[in-house]
Amino acid sequence: MRELGYRIEYVDAGFGRVDAGAVSEADLLVVLGGPIGVGDQQAYPYLTDEIKAIADRIALGRLTFGVCLGAQLIAAALGAAVEPTGRFEVGYAPLTLADVPDNPLAPLGDVPVLHWHGDQFAIPDGAVLLASTPGFPHQAFTFGPAVLALQFHLEADPDGLEQWLIGYVSDLAAHGIAPATIRGDAARYGPQLADRARRVLSAWLTASGSG
């Protein structure tokens, strides 16, 4: 994104009020993930403000990209259901890409991506499904040229996953997932995935007219 001329500013949405004006005015909004879910709005009221701010931005046709919880918040902003599945998809695994014209995820066709989720979004009305896995058939969608939402993680630095393995130790243990497996797959697939992620985002931003 920096190579395409963006200046990046991080905002922790859960700390302080969501600035709806700033959300609407940014050239590009990237909505990242977290350990809570769309269904936790009563416990974490800021999520309600965030969803409304995302909905207002999308209504303006502004460029919006979501990852994991971020994609679920985008789906909710577009009126789609987001629910726990009772399953836990964690680790590197391939996608099945939808046969749609100019699928922006085409560079990911032969490389496993990083999954780390238990909730799932429905595909919003007017959106186009881009990818699936056997356990989570709704992995990604576009909504017009300006919105891209991914359940999986393209943004994760494979060299920084140790923080995730430590922070989610209880979830990994509860589901019998060995940190060593994820660590090994990160070393095996991470560099190639980083290159493909760069290609996906660069192509999508360019096609949207902003790159």
Tens digit of each residue's pLDDT, the chain (211 residues): 888 899 999 988 888 778 888 889 999 999 999 889 999 999 999 999 999 999 999 999 999 999 999 999 999 999 999 999 999 999 999 999 999 999 999 999 999 999 999 999 999 999 999 999 999 999 999 999 999 999 999 998 888 899 999 999 998 998 899 999 999 999 999 999 999 999 999 999 988 866 5
DSSP string, 91-123: EEE--EE---TT-TTGGGTTS-EEEEEEEEEPP
Q: Tell me which long-range contacts 14-23 makes (C-beta under 8 A, separation of at least 24).
A: 14/44, 14/46, 17/46, 17/49, 18/46, 18/49, 18/50, 18/53, 19/53, 20/49, 20/52, 20/53, 20/56, 23/53, 23/54, 23/56, 23/57
Query: So what's the pLDDT on residue 207?
Result: 87
> Where along the chain do its domains lie?
20-207
Query: So what's the pLDDT on residue 143?
Result: 98
Query: How is domain 20-207 classified at the architecture level of CATH?
Result: 3-Layer(aba) Sandwich (3.40)
Say whether 83 sits in a helix, a strand or coil. strand
pTM: 0.95
Query: So what's the pLDDT on residue 210?
Result: 64
Residue with structure tokens 């009563």?
A: 42
Is the Cβ–Cβ distance between 65 and 30 less than 8 Å?
yes
What DSSP designation does 176 have? T
